[in-house]
Amino acid sequence: MATFKETPFNGLKSLEEHDPELFDLIEQEKSRQWRSLELIASENFTSKAVMDCLGSALTNKYSEGLPHARYYGGNEVVDQVEILCQTRALEAYGLDPTEWGVNVQPYSGSPANFAVYTALLRPHDRIMGLDLPSGGHLTHGFYTYSKKENTRKAVSATSVYFESLPYRVHPETGYIDYDQLERDAGLFKPALIIAGGSAYPREYDYPRFRQIADANGCLLMMDMAHISGLVATGEAASPFKYCDVVTTTTHKSLRGPRAGLIFFRRDSRDFETRINQAVFPALQGGPHEHQIAGVATQLKEVATDDFKLYAKQVKANAVAIANKLSSMGYKIATGGTENHLILWDLKPCNITGSKFEKVCDAVSITLNKNCVPGDHSAITPGGVRIGTPALTTRRFGEADFEQVAMFLHETLQIALKLQDQSGPKLKDFLPLLESSPEIKELRKRVHSFATTFPMPGFDPATMKYKNADGPEHLID
Ligand code: PLP
């Protein structure tokens, strides 16, 4: 048997050489992203520069602690990476470092939010966030009712460890019902109000949130995950003047790698120590410095004029698709949008969001079922959520989004026809998608259209599967 010294050194093999099976799956995914219309409002296509950071030597390093106060040695370079990220994060939002600080270590948005709760609340403290069926996020506190157990069920850790009374959008207007929030906060006396959400197409009224928080002596946090790219460019109102804490993900409209940030006020309440200690050692271990580098380089991008134009176009495209669908007689929740997403209410069309999502998938249009105003359950949502950040990164303009609206219209017409044939049950409906020649034909047109646009992050010319309809062995 060969000695260890004599065995081949595999550390410089490419993934293609080392693991052809996994390489092939990644190539399939690249091809899928290139030929599909990506409308998931929380997704984006990040740059090659960000991907270079994610695949860099920084992934090798442990750096528990904060810059210049680490538990391991060898962090002299990593310290500079993390400090650069902190500096750029504060600059991106025009924050004075004597008034605001930032922790750039959260692995993602959910851990960032839980770190804030861990830092600033005691177990079972009361919180109020936007209800999930109203467009809020799971980490803002959500309960369901279990019929089987005849009891409420806490769905996320937030509602396991804290007592949550959600606020809602008005069932008719779709706007946040601030009057109801004010009444409920007066009774519930929360320790924290959370603004922000995952499926809310309108601006947030931060002065009103602040006034309600002040009237009840509670903290105000904004989770700007969805709109952080718009806030950084002045395309959405800034929450910083009104909030005590602001969290965000970095991979949605900000277009960076998957990660999270926590911004905190620097004052006598010492949020800084409490939040830093909640991130590490309370909840996390070593920070992912390759991610932090990716965030840093994306924040450099965010400061450019190109990114400002991008953010403007994200909003213009959302208006364009909302107007086009409305002009065809479809119902858009709240009557339109002021940010990067729209909620398409499908109830008047007599099809569920879940069914329509499946048909969209079959024609390579990627979006998600979503509750719309008036829905009570997240299990059978009455519409879909459509976002513009990802395709705008691929240089789609308003006319292109009008074409996307036409594809969606065609998809819906096919879906309604198939539903007439199958009856209401999903299990009878799904097999029709596979055999429908109309689906196949539309999918081909979607592929031809999508593949004319550029793709950041990787070059389609170097992909293993360059056929616009995907890998040969997967085309039926
Ligand atoms: N906050 C909001 C408003 C979100 O929409 C999301 C994710 O969609 C998160 C937090 C959680 O982010 P992550 O999936 O990175 O944990």
Indicate if ligand 1 lies below 6 Å from the C-beta of 137.
yes
Q: What is the pLDDT of residue 414?
A: 97
Query: What single-letter DSSP state applies at residue 242?
Result: T
Quick one: tokens of 300?
A: 């450099």
| Atom number in ligand 1 closest to CA 42 | 8
User: Which of the 8 DSSP states describes residue 167?
Assistant: B
The answer to whether the predicted template modeling score (pTM) of the entire model surpasses 0.95 is yes
Which pair of structure tokens corresponds to residue 227? 């709109």
Nearest C-alpha neighbor of 306 from the set 255, 357, 348, 257: 255
Catalytic residue among 131, 223, 244, 338: 223
108 within ligand 1 shell (Cβ under 6 A)? yes
Q: List 38's β-bridge partners, or say none.
A: 366
Catalytic residue status for 301: no
10-residue mean pLDDT profile of the chain (476 residues): values are 88 95 97 97 98 98 98 97 98 98 98 98 98 94 87 91 96 97 98 98 98 98 98 98 98 98 97 98 98 98 98 98 98 98 97 96 97 84 97 98 98 97 90 94 97 96 90 69
pLDDT at 476: 61
Question: Which residue in the list 24, 32, 52, 64 is annotated as catalytic?
Answer: 64
Q: Do 245 and 265 touch, CB atoms closer than 8 A?
A: yes
196 lines ligand 1 (CB under 6 A): yes
Cβ neighbours of residue 262 closer than 8 Å, sequence gap 6 or more: 102, 103, 106, 112, 115, 116, 245, 246, 247, 275, 279
pLDDT of 378 reads: 72
**CB of 110 sitting under 6 A from ligand 1:** yes
How far is residue 35's CA from residue 48's CA, in Å, rounded to a whole number?
19
Q: What is the pLDDT of residue 475?
A: 66
Cβ of residue 249 lying under 6 Å from some atom of ligand 1: yes
Residue 377: the pLDDT is: 72
The answer to whether residues 383 and 351 touch, using CB atoms and an 8 Å cutoff, is no
Which tokens belong to 170?
Answer: 């008005």
Active site residue 223: yes
Ranges of H-type helices in 251-302:
271-277, 289-302
Nearest CA to ligand 1 atom 14: 109
What the chain holds in terms of domains, given with CATH numbers, is: 57-302 (3.40.640.10), 316-474 (3.90.1150.10)
- How is the chain split among helix, strand and coil, in percent rounded to 5? 45, 15, 40
Cis bond upstream, residue 281 (ω within 30)? yes
